[in-house]
Amino acid sequence: MVLPALHISRKQAAIVFAAGATLAGLAAGQLSADVRTPAVAIDWSSAVTTQPQTNWRRDIGGCACDIHPGLCDPNCCCDSDCTAGEKTLYFTDCLSSSIGASSALVPLCSQYLSIVNWESQSGASVFRSSGGALCVVYSNSAVKGSFFDDPGQFVQDSAFATQFSTAAFPASATSYNADRSHILAKAYRYGDPLQVYFPALGITGFMSLPTAISGSSCNGNIPAKFMVAETVTCQQTVASPAASCAAGSVFHMAYYTSGFQIVNVTYTFLYSLSSTPVINGVLVDVVLGSYTLAAGTAIAQTFVTKFAPSATFAATSYMIRSGVPGYAVGSPVLAGTLTQSGSASGILHIPDPAFGITLPVDVAAAGSSSPVQCPSVTNYASRASITFGENSVFGCTLWLDRTALNSGCAALRTQIYTLQTLTASAVTHVGVFGNASVSNVYDWIKIINNPPAAITGSQTITDAADTCSSLLTDFDVQVLYTYYGSSLGPQAAIVGVRFNYVKGQFQWRCLSPADCVNPSTYGLASATPGSTPQRFRIRSSVSFVRVSTVGTSLYSPPAPRLVAQLPDDIWYPFTLG
């Protein structure tokens, strides 16, 4: 194959040569003028020599999409460089003609208008509404609008510095000091990073609260903050199984508190606010786990920070409100169980969202090659709490082989039901308001909960081959709410809760020949068909629906009665009702 010759004019050849020379020059820190974009030509004959006076008391907005003078900008219908032919030829839409806001003029629309006298209504605009009425928009106000004042230009350093110093958080650094010892001289304020002392080095630093920043991996550079209670979960990956349990590993107790792998750490900071905010002590609760480790295994760790004025206070459970009184959007839905003591009734409520109404979500599969899977039926931490006003859909993955679908349906049915309703089945009531009292059962509303016996595992179910049926594949928490009180300060309240159970089935699928056929039939080593697990999903959700039949009404209190001390016959022969 012969390629055609490449012909380059002398001028083009000079450019190519200059470009080659420039590449060499760039290495030496030089830039050749031959490869730069030429400067815009100046028309010296029309150069402005005297600064014009500008009237800022007007709308200075123009055609915002006209960014190329002398050229037609595509889809810029207000571009004066565009001809009608160009607009018809390749325009597909019209971009915004101005970056300014349109004036808030109220149109007058009437079915009785038929025509507008333009001579008397100069400056008016007319259009037809969707209902066919003729609408007229005309501004007859003497006020032309609100315009920004001219602050002038800042060309002197002192004036510029004065104005720039008003910025609260400029990106410019005034100084840099790597010595952070001055931080210890300050009293704690809300949200300040907590300081810790490292005796081996004799320096202070921030207390780490590993947090998932992007994805699910732990980032240990995030500090715990003063008086900010947090619960975070992230994943640590095992790089070396032999070193994961040794001192210095993120799974070793001494790494966080100064065996077994650490999977949950709760710090309770004891503070005093009597004169200067200080930390008096720290209580540490550690949950240990035992895993069969392999390189690349991801283990979820949960870190909790709490603050209490004393150890006694920390050991006592107190009600945490979700609103006063109405629920705040995003706050946990209060849930509890009806209990009795003698003839008195109350609500057993644990002020930890992990023991409220929670739904399962995918977690890293420890010691497995599967990327994610449903949490275990004893894992309360790796679940999503339902929060008021936030409609959400959750789900998690089960990995099952063909044998499990043919011989383990009864156990699978019980597992899925327990997984879906781990905490929901333990509660009977939810708080009507966000400040419900555990001592007043009338502050709580009973949950409508009627699970079908078939999905709970309490009934014997006959399943077809390669199929498990009557599984709780979808669990829905349905909430009705309304508002009480003044329309100027509405208070959200829950007026109904129902658990909805949807049953489905898992069926083995032939996604590849090995799923349903012995590989020996096509010349490979013999293996049991369906030995590779397949992915099955279960779903859960929470929905908040406002009661639609409730409106607002004006209220006038009844007129006060006459003073009681007046004699009964004062209005004789009339009587008081």
- What tokens appear for 336 in the block? 């509890």
List, for residues 109-157, the tens digit of each pLDDT value: 887 777 766 545 556 777 777 777 888 877 767 766 677 677 777 778 8
Which residues touch 408 (CB under 8 Å, ≥6 apart)? 468
CB 514 within 8 A of CB 529: yes
CA-to-CA distance for 306 and 308, rounded, in angstroms? 7
CB 479 within 8 A of CB 542: yes
List, for residues 250-297, the tens digit of each pLDDT value: 555 555 554 445 677 888 999 888 778 888 888 888 877 766 666 667
CA-to-CA distance for 505 and 569, rounded, in angstroms? 82
Report helix, strand and coil shares of the chain as percent, to nearest 5: 15, 30, 55
List, for residues 452-496, the tens digit of each pLDDT value: 999 988 888 888 888 999 999 999 999 999 998 888 888 899 999
- What tokens appear for 516 in the block? 């349903």
Q: What is the DSSP string of 141-167?
A: -S-------------SHHHHHHHHTT-
- What tokens appear for 246 in the block? 């040794």
CB 105 within 8 A of CB 139: yes
**Side-chain half-sphere CA neighbours of 186 within 13 A:** 12
Task: Report pLDDT for 514.
Answer: 76
CB 332 within 8 A of CB 401: no
CA-to-CA distance for 216 and 365, rounded, in angstroms? 13
Q: What is the pTM of this model?
A: 0.59
List strands edge to edge, sheet with 134-137.
108-110, 134-137, 125-128
Task: Report pLDDT for 259.
Answer: 40
The CA-CA-CA angle for residues 350, 353, 357, to 5°, reads 90
CB 366 within 8 A of CB 298: yes
Confidence of residue 21 (pLDDT cuts 50, 70, 90): very low
Q: Looking at residues 340-367, what average pLDDT do you find?
A: 84
Q: Looking at residues 393-416, what average pLDDT do you find?
A: 90
3-class DSSP state of 402: helix
Task: Report pLDDT for 479.
Answer: 93
φ, ψ of residue 480 to 5 degrees: the values are: -105, 135
Short-list 392, 377, 381, CA closest to 233: 381
Q: Which residues pair with 522 in a beta bridge?
A: none
Q: Looking at residues 186-206, what average pLDDT do you find?
A: 82
Specify the range with the lowest mean pLDDT, choosing from 341-355, 416-430, 525-539. 525-539
**% of the chain beyond a pLDDT of 90:** 18
CA-to-CA distance for 293 and 412, rounded, in angstroms? 26
